[in-house]
Structure 1
Amino acid sequence: MKQIFKKVSSLCTVLLMMAVLTLTGASAVWAEEVDDTVKQTLITTAEGLTDTIVTLGDEDIENYSKSSDAFTTSAMSAWAGSKAELGALKERSGEVEVKASDDGYTVTVPASFEKADANFVYVFDGSTGAPTSLTVDVQYSMAETLRRAVMNTIMGIAIVFIVLIFLSFLIYLFRFIPNPEAKKKAQAAAAPAPAPVAAPVVEEPADDTELIAVIAAAIAAAEGTTTDGFVVRSIRKINRKKR
Structure 2
Amino acid sequence: MKKKILLILSMCLIVLGLAACGEADPTTVDYNGLTYDQLKGACENTVNILQNMSESEKAAYLASGEETLEHLVSRWEEAMEDVGEFVELGEFTITKSGKTLTCEQRIIYENRPVILTYVYKYHNMELEDITVDQVQTLGEKMTNAALNTLMGMGVVFTVLILISLIISCFKFLSRFEKGKEEAKPAVKEPVAPVPPAVEEAIAAQDDLELAAVIAAAIAASTGTSTDDFVVRSIKRRY
Please say which structure displays the higher CA radius of gyration: 1
With normalisation by structure 1, the TM-score equals: 0.49
Higher RCO (CA < 8 A, seq sep 6+): 1
